[in-house]
Structure 1
Amino acid sequence: MALQVVTAVTGAAWEAALVGALDRADHGVTVVRRCVDASDLLATAATGTAQAALLSADLHRLDVDAVARLQAGGVAVVGLVDPGDDRAGDRLRALGVTTVLPADAAPEEVVRALREAVTGGPAGGRDVADPRAALPGAGGDGPEPADRRPARGRVVAVWGPTGAPGRTTVAVGLADEAARLGVPTLLVDADVYGGVVAQVLGLLDESPGLAGAARQAAAGTLDEAALLRLAWSVRPQLSVLTGLARADRWPELRPRAVGAVLDEARRVADLTVVDCAFNLEEDEELSFDTAAPRRNGATVTVLESADEVLCVSGADPVGLQRTIRALGQLRDLLPEVEPVVVVNQVRRGPVPGDARREIGEALERFAGRPVRAFLPVDRGATDAALASGRTLAEVAPGSPLRAGLRGLAAALARVPEPAPGRRGWRRRRAG
């Protein structure tokens, strides 16, 4: 039976000749439709009439989600670019198209690539409109261009339950201390419910930040230089990718795009610290028969992608109860993730007796998790830092909270922690 193919190379001067050559009976290929844009292509693929698709990089509305939905629906994808257009080829590979050929390739070569893609592609039989088609991991990732630096940096996700346990304070403190240890660090605000990293550091919250990076990643145009242009350079070794200025802009952070941003972050920084939202509920995308946006998809993607997940817990009975429940929810959703518990705002009063011992035993008993670090409350230092838009190291270098964050940052960055008495630790930023 002839291989059923759709083309989506609108505007290419060579399209008509290629379609005519492919339709020849001796090639065993039938072009069932010539699509005008990505929406037309997805609608055609949803009918189940196509086994493979030929794409060009300049197709209108083509992004990483569109390619993933095609692949998840059992439609093999092959890209075609103008001869010598390396940038277009790189963009298609960034979108997840693993096979890219020059447009002047012989019809026999194109047919062979289509058949190989169909044979080695994802299993067919799934509806392209299946909402799970847009979930992270539903499609393959293309090979990296040969001239790109390998992704070697580590990603640390700072997550925790609702109730303001201090996720942002911990994330900012860890990133700042790692940078002061000489580790190139990127701080990312990925909180879709109310990220405030920009406000905490006194930065402009209307900058494109993570949303801009996600848009470029979805279009296949994000690279190291573009990511660095979108990030604020706070001080040597520390850059910040600010979050959403308004919570209602959460649809801009699609899961696949956020994952692509983290992949690129591994190239620009040795350590990437991500401030996450609390919510892990499965929402719109699994409730409807279309690939609707998922508000919590960005958080889930970060937790899946991270090399280490820090669960920040409050140090009072309410905070501990929320942490135990949140850890259970995380275990049910992502059983392969092994979070590390950090108890923040430890103080006398809310927990009787030896607070650290009691809290540690409770988390071991009810959540099965040991406590990696206890961070003391230091309201004076945190208030001073917030009021001035600076970090703890700048406003309160001798703070016990700062000391705890410094030790944790050294462990996460895998570098030695300098002695507290060294002069470099008390140096304040000029100006």
Structure 2
Amino acid sequence: MAAIALLLDRAVEDALLADMIEHGHSVVARSATARELILILDGLELDAVVASAAGISRELLDACDRRGVRVIGIAANDSGRRHASELGLFEVLDADSTWDDVENVLGHRGPPPVGVPAPLTGGPVSGVIAVWGPTGAPGRTTLAINVAAEVAARGHSVLLADVDPYGGTIAPALGLLDEAPGFAAACRLAGADSLTRAELDRIAQRHGTRDDAFRVLTGISRAARWPELGGSRVTAVLDACRRWVDVVVVDTGFSLETDEEISSDLFAPRRNGATIAALRSADHVIAVGGADPIALPRFLRGYADLAEAIEPQRVSVVVNRLRTSASGVGAAGHVLATLRRFGGIEQAHIVPDDRRGVDAAVLAGGTLREVSRRSPARQAIERFVDEQLVPRQDAAARDVRRRTRAASGAAVGAPSVAASVPSSGR
């Protein structure tokens, strides 16, 4: 169990203390101010600090980071949350949170935090999965978020990173605060050779509290900040993250153009360098395109550029938002035939259009797995993950865990019944 120091208001401390002790944790220090706690840190064997968000100082956060001590903030109001966000602390709970909420953040129950990889339950699932798609919003972010959720639900530690140099969208899609973009912070730390597990754990936000929880490095909020995402820094961050979590899912930008490299300044940053670096660092690339008559040709043009940038053998194709109203009767067959004829793509995974389910997830700031488990889009993504990203023995282990949870009264997800378009020879 954990050794914890408290820096809380009396009312909040009284509400948490009994349950904390009941869970087996010990209180090794109580302090009235951050300065007072800093003075005694060296003499403590400490695992975590639970503190009022408004009372946390930069000095306390730095002192805890140097010692590998986690800091969890309790915010009484929006002002406290903003203060914590400005310091780069994202593990912040509301003042009315129970100790169970704190326990989940500590990682003693549920999936462990970033930096403490969960034991693999099946085959060797690991590495970086990059999600790319051409201009026109084919659904890159939606797919990346839901792939991360499905992989995490199979018992793997997952980090979702927003590397889009034209402006991140993962944070608003998941309802996360992003005043201090996590991936840009990771790039700065990597550039200074200071990116550690503890730092990654501090800047990554947690999404979800159940068995499909994962961590998120939010993207830049303004496109003008793209120089912070240098190609070499992106590579360094992903190389570090792959050592600390099982799977890193990367939401990339759309553009693969390299014409900017004819610039006379050979050392100037390249706007698309972040996207290209992420794709080249990835062990597996998911290329996603829309299914309608406008989006499909756009995808095929972009796919040709992708095939020049990386090896096609590492690419899986996902055709998103398939609907007969835009693609006609037998839409899946028409799409596959078009991909095979004009792109040489023999296999594609089809995700049907489910605007209602996706809109509900965005409105709730959640994933399809959380908000609309029976969504046909979610079922198609689940099947894609089973077939392309998670070994089949992992799927069997998942079924065992589901039966175990069912026996104990936990909720069990609906079985996958989505369709995928198989490959066919010419």
What range is the shorter-chain TM-score in? 0.5 to 0.7
SS of aligned partner of 1:340: strand
Deviations 1:69-112 (A, max 9, x none): xxxxxxxxxxxxxxxxxxxxxxxxxxxxxxxxxxxxxxxxxxxx
Aligned residue among 284, 289, 304 for 1:313: 289
Give the distance between the partners of 1:293 and 1:367, measured in 2 at CA.
32
SS of aligned partner of 2:334: helix
Give aligned pairs, total. Answer: 277
Determine whether 1:412 maps to 2:389.
yes
Q: What one-letter code is carried by the residue in structure 1 that aligns with 2:390?
A: A
Determine whether 1:215 maps to 2:188.
yes
SS of aligned partner of 2:175: coil
Aligned residue among 297, 300, 308 for 2:273: 297
Structure-1 residue corresponding to 2:150: 177
Report deviation, 1:359: 0.5
Determine whether 1:359 maps to 2:332.
no
Give the distance between the partners of 1:195 and 1:321, measured in 2 at CA.
25
Give the distance between the partners of 1:246 and 1:276, measured in 2 at CA.
15
Determine whether 1:397 maps to 2:373.
yes
1:326-365 aligned within 5 A: 326-335=302-311, 338-365=314-341
1:141-152 aligned within 5 A: none
Report deviation, 1:329: 1.2
Please tell me whether the aligned partners of residues 183 and 413 of structure 1 are also in contact (alpha carbons under 8 angstroms): no
Please tell me whether the aligned partners of residues 163 and 274 of structure 2 are also in contact (alpha carbons under 8 angstroms): yes
Give the distance between the partners of 2:245 and 2:328, measured in 1 at CA.
42
Structure 1 residues 336 and 342: CA distance shift in structure 2, 3 A: closer
Q: What one-letter code is carried by the residue in structure 1 that aligns with 2:395?
A: P
Q: TM-score, normalised by structure 1?
A: 0.61
Structure 1 residues 249 and 425: CA distance shift in structure 2, 3 A: farther
1:32-431 aligned within 5 A: 153-235=126-208, 237-335=213-311, 338-410=314-386, 411-414=388-391, 415-416=394-395, 418=398, 423=406, 424-426=411-413
Give the distance between the partners of 1:337 and 1:294, measured in 2 at CA.
26
Q: TM-score, normalised by structure 2?
A: 0.62
Please tell me whether the aligned partners of residues 283 and 294 of structure 1 are also in contact (alpha carbons under 8 angstroms): no
Give the distance between the partners of 2:337 and 2:156, measured in 1 at CA.
34
Report deviation, 1:228: 1.8
Report deviation, 1:416: 1.1
Structure 1 residues 335 and 394: CA distance shift in structure 2, 3 A: closer
Bigger mean CA deviation after superposition, 252-261 or 408-417: 408-417
Q: What one-letter code is carried by the residue in structure 2 that aligns with 1:207?
A: A
Please tell me whether the aligned partners of residues 286 and 317 of structure 2 are also in contact (alpha carbons under 8 angstroms): yes
SS of aligned partner of 1:357: helix
Bigger mean CA deviation after superposition, 185-194 or 337-346: 337-346
- Structure 1: any 5+ residue segments left out of the alignment? 1-150
Structure 1 residues 335 and 405: CA distance shift in structure 2, 3 A: closer
Give the distance between the partners of 2:205 and 2:235, measured in 1 at CA.
20
Report deviation, 1:229: 1.4
Structure 1 residues 316 and 355: CA distance shift in structure 2, 3 A: same
Structure-2 residue corresponding to 1:144: none
Give the distance between the partners of 1:315 and 1:393, measured in 2 at CA.
23
Give the distance between the partners of 2:333 and 2:172, measured in 1 at CA.
35
Q: Which has the larger radius of gyration?
A: 1
Give the distance between the partners of 2:268 and 2:136, measured in 1 at CA.
28
Structure 1 residues 280 and 189: CA distance shift in structure 2, 3 A: same
Percent identity of the aligned residues?
A: 44
Report deviation, 1:283: 4.1
Give the distance between the partners of 2:412 and 2:251, measured in 1 at CA.
24
SS of aligned partner of 2:294: helix
Please tell me whether the aligned partners of residues 323 and 352 of structure 2 are also in contact (alpha carbons under 8 angstroms): yes
Give the distance between the partners of 2:246 and 2:310, measured in 1 at CA.
25
Deviations 1:180-205 (A, max 9, x none): 11111110001111221000111002
Give the distance between the partners of 1:264 and 1:425, measured in 2 at CA.
34
Give the distance between the partners of 1:408 and 1:227, measured in 2 at CA.
29
SS of aligned partner of 2:238: helix
Q: What one-letter code is carried by the residue in structure 1 that aligns with 2:343?
A: A
Q: What one-letter code is carried by the residue in structure 1 that aligns with 2:186?
A: A
Give the distance between the partners of 1:408 and 1:265, measured in 2 at CA.
24
Structure-2 residue corresponding to 1:16: none
Please tell me whether the aligned partners of residues 277 and 299 of structure 1 are also in contact (alpha carbons under 8 angstroms): yes
Deviations 1:357-381 (A, max 9, x none): 1101110111111333111111111
Q: What one-letter code is carried by the residue in structure 1 that aligns with 2:366?
A: R
Structure 1 residues 336 and 426: CA distance shift in structure 2, 3 A: closer
SS of aligned partner of 1:240: strand
Q: What one-letter code is carried by the residue in structure 1 that aligns with 2:235?
A: G
Deviations 1:218-276 (A, max 9, x none): 11111222112111121365110110011110000000000010011102211111001
Please tell me whether the aligned partners of residues 336 and 348 of structure 2 are also in contact (alpha carbons under 8 angstroms): no
Q: What one-letter code is carried by the residue in structure 1 that aligns with 2:223?
A: A
